[in-house]
A and B are shown apart, each in its own frame.
Chain A
Amino acid sequence: MSDTTFSLNLKIWRQESADKPGKMVDYKIDCVDEHMSFLEMLDVLNQQLIEKGEVPVAFDHDCREGICGTCGCMINGHAHGKDSETTLCQLHMRKFRDGDTLYLEPWRAKAFPIVQDLCVDRSAFDRIQAAGAYCSVHTGSAIDGNSLLVPKANAESAMDAAACIGCGACVAACKNASAMLFVGAKVSQFALLPQGQIERKERVLNMVEQMDAEGFGNCTNEFECEAACPKGISVDNIARMNREYIKAAATKAD
């Protein structure tokens, strides 16, 4: 449709599987259309590779509308690329210029081992969730929804935290590969709501313990996570988690 097509030099991390060595491989792609999403550009590259008989580049993706949190890679050192509040699937090629050279790498973190090419294993996030990010309420045992009043401001703040898509960009962007924005957001959602009060202490203690066990680093207040977060999750959530943790640790015998 558009007559504004251009070319890019891509340098992409290729790695057949976790136990094999990987390397950067050069690709040149023409006919990039400004209306394409970044993933559609990779689709076009893969079609060209298939035509040439080369194995296409593996990358994780699913909803392609910025909500499932499946996609993501580093573009020239920036998680999901340089655009703010954007997932890779919502990054459009109009943000790039003819002749740009782009280095594409998978998320880099000890706790996110590489599966293949740009795909990584983020199951550590699931294990942190399983450690306590829930209210223990069996199906069928709930009271009427309106019998629990929630101040609008709390509901809004809880929703701000709950908007996390679990993509892992915060970890990839952090020099310490810290997961504290992800964990902080989940701890905050429950800490802000009346439903979360009963298990408030054990939740934060258990989740932080699991976070450490997975090999994520600590926060040193660089705030790269907030800058990279496609959903604009605030580092205030890390501060809240720290407060929750200290309070819980100090009073856990109660």
Chain B
Amino acid sequence: MSNILDSKIPDGPLADKWDLHKAKLKLIAPNNRRKFNIIVVGSGLAGASAAASLAEMNYNVTCLCVQDSARRAHSIAAQGGINAAKNYPNDNDSIFRLFYDTIKGGDFRGREGNTYRLAQVSNNIIDQCVAQGVPFAREYGGVLSNRTFGGAQVSRTFYARGQTGQQLLLGAYSALMRQVNRGKVDMRPRREMMDLVKVDGVARGVVVRNLVTGELERYAADAVLLCTGGYGNVFYLSTNAKGCNVTAAYRCHKQGAFMANPCFTQIHPTCIPVSGDHQSKLTLMSESLRNDGRVWVPKKKGDDRPPSQIPDSERDYYLERKYPSFGNMVPRDVASRNAKVACDNGQGVGASGLAVYLDFQEAIEREGRDVIEARYGNLFHMYEKITAENPYEVPMRIYPAVHYTMGGLWVDYNLESTIPGLFVLGEANFSDHGANRLGASALMQGLADGYFVAPYTVAAHLAERALPAVSTEDEAFQAAEKGVRDRISKLLSVGGSKSVDYFHRKLGLTMWDHCGMARNEEGLKKALKIIPELREEFWKDVRVLGQGGQMNQELEKAGRVADFLEFGELMCRDALNRKESAGGHFREEYQTAEGEAKRDDENYRYVAAWEFKGDGKEPALHKEALEFENVELTQRSYK
């Protein structure tokens, strides 16, 4: 195991770790905080909450985002809800139970300390959001309402119809805009981070491209917080927004930040199936639908009767059959894999045969259409818009799609990467979800990191390290800007024959085929051959029209795809290295007799953290051992 990686998980009983750690973190006095500048890259749940909280404390914050407004970050698309251990429904929930479900749901590949802290602060998040005016669903008595999500046997998910992410983000955005109004946050939309600037090995600034004018801009600070989301778009087709990318994180990786567990990606079971080659993205249908929807396929292979003509006795409700305790509410990796098994077995439905039914007929009969409409109306509306089918009358057709990435930049307990002064929050880091994230936990983590963790740990960095004054005129900034400028010129000067999308689609297909829902050694080795060839072809034959000194959406895409073409290789390398199945990482060679993921705790109970060693060189693997003192490692069972 590595001597380099110090996770800084504090000693002491699990329930006291965070309090003991906080008590030791150094502080910056209120009157000194205005002397420090902090850059926050990204304005989603993690970024907006961190920027707002730090500005409230009186630090000077510059917040950058690629969207035209901070309110449009991709957190906005999260639908179903946010978990917290409030136990309002009195169903015996607790902080420990939320912690346990999350660590088990992650197939025991997450850190105990981080995950417990996440469960601890979950309750504060709900309080904070309510105080901001987030219109959570309520019961008739006026109290907050809860529903159930996958991997849990309690109702701990708070929600605002099917738009929970939107409402939480608008809450964080309102806090952010309040600080903009106070002059404590300098909000810069339509800016893309192109590189990190280090001075004496410490993160001290960024070079960004102004997406409207094309100009490069330099920002200097005492700490840089990366809140830039996940890398699901390496697959081209995913539920991520089109603008989601790995560039900011990957640029930091190339500067020395280790990338951890990149092969841990989540394939979400309930998405609208692909309809044709023109498809540009996939649309998620919230996991909350599985509270009332029943998943099934025809028992008979190739049965092409309309669903209404297939009697109950000829339907296979395979999740209810195989997992009676959890039924349709098994975790996402399990639901996705079983959908794939059914379709591979010839029981898939729809024109492509790559879909299963999600059926609300019984729920509508039981609860009434009004109740179902109140719970999921906007999702049903969205489904009908896209497919022209009415899910109140015919079952939805769904299929798994890439949704979330558990892997990300390696961080310690303080959320600090291997580059001092570079903090990584939310989906961009690797730390809390292990090999599979439970539903309604991404919103929880983004806000936990931003509201309640980073404000304390960033202060300690500012207090403990000697940070000499830096200027954007320093050599390090000039050199970083020159590197960015050269790369942009290179992209514009290739003058090839194929569009950026051509390469992105090809990369995506390779990743889906060989590093998607199921992986094996042969396929991964094949991908590791294809990707470098594709990358070489990209740099010889890509066509990026227009100029660098103006708005140029093709140039933006080109830079991101160039990074995906390197990052995809790292993902496959990580998947090849991990000779076990865990959560979303399903290696076909390693499965139980019943086809479930089979871990190898003896040899792979570690975080794989990859160090960049130079272009064309093999990255170095560092291992952080995962210690489990409070839970027993078991074969995950939802039966």
Q: Which residues of A contact B (CB under 8 A)?
A: 1-2, 16-17, 33, 35-37, 39-41, 43-44, 47, 50-51, 53-56, 58, 60-70, 85-86, 90, 92, 94, 115-116, 119, 121-123, 125-126, 129-146, 148-152, 155, 158-159, 162-163, 165-166, 189-190, 193, 195-196
Q: Which residues of A contact B501 (CB under 8 A)?
A: 43, 47
Interchain residue pairs with CB less than 8 A apart (18): A37-B386, A55-B546, A62-B72, A62-B243, A63-B77, A68-B74, A70-B67, A122-B69, A129-B71, A130-B181, A140-B452, A148-B131, A152-B139, A155-B137, A162-B167, A162-B170, A163-B378, A195-B132
Which of A40, A133, A145 contacts B177, CB < 8 Å? A133
CB–CB B69/A126 < 8 A:
yes
Instruction: Please tell me if B6 contacts chain A, counting CB pairs below 8 Å.
Output: no
CB–CB B241/A138 < 8 A:
no
Instruction: Please tell me if B127 contacts chain A, counting CB pairs below 8 Å.
Output: yes
Q: Which residues of A contact B77 (CB under 8 A)?
A: 63, 65, 67-68
CB–CB B131/A142 < 8 A:
yes
Given contacts A146-B144, A149-B142, A159-B135, are A65 and B283 in contact (CB under 8 A)? yes
Residue of A nearest to B497 (CB): A51
Q: Which residues of A contact B56 (CB under 8 A)?
A: 138-139
CB–CB B178/A136 < 8 A:
yes
Most chain A C-beta atoms within 10 Å of own C-beta, residue among B70, B71, B86, B189: B71
Question: How many chain B residues touch the partner (CB < 8 A)?
Answer: 83
Q: Which residues of B contact A129 (CB under 8 A)?
A: 71, 173-174, 177
Q: Which residues of A contact B142 (CB under 8 A)?
A: 149-152
* CB proximity of A106 to chain B, nearest CB, Å: 13
Instruction: Please tell me if B126 contacts chain A, counting CB pairs below 8 Å.
Output: yes
Which of A50, A61, A62, A149 contacts B554, CB < 8 Å? A50
List B223-252 residues whose CB lies under 8 Å from chain A.
Answer: 239, 241-243
Query: Which of B271-279, B330-338, B572-580 interfaces with chain A?
Result: B271-279
* CB proximity of B75 to chain A, nearest CB, Å: 10
Bound complex: CA of A138 vs CA of B175, how far in Å?
A: 8
Q: Which residues of B contact A (CB under 8 A)?
A: 49, 52-53, 56, 67-72, 74, 76-77, 86, 88, 124, 126-133, 135-144, 160-161, 163, 166-167, 170, 173-175, 177-178, 180-181, 187, 189, 212, 239, 241-243, 275-281, 283-284, 351-352, 378, 381-382, 385-386, 388, 451-452, 455, 499, 501, 543, 545-546, 550-551, 553-554
CB–CB A145/B351 < 8 A:
no
Given contacts A134-B175, A134-B177, A162-B167, are A142 and B68 in contact (CB under 8 A)? no
Given contacts A17-B550, A43-B280, A68-B76, are A60 and B68 in contact (CB under 8 A)? yes
CB–CB B133/A195 < 8 A:
yes
Bound complex: CA of A116 vs CA of B213, how far in Å?
A: 11
Known: A130-B181, A139-B52. 12 other contacts (CB 8 A): A37-B386, A40-B278, A62-B243, A67-B77, A90-B386, A122-B69, A140-B452, A141-B131, A159-B137, A163-B163, A189-B133, A195-B132
Q: Interface on chain A toward B: helix, strand, loop, or mixed SS?
A: loop
CB–CB B72/A152 < 8 A:
no
CB–CB A134/B139 < 8 A:
no
* CB proximity of B238 to chain A, nearest CB, Å: 11
* CB proximity of B93 to chain A, nearest CB, Å: 14
Bound complex: CA of A115 vs CA of B381, how far in Å?
A: 32
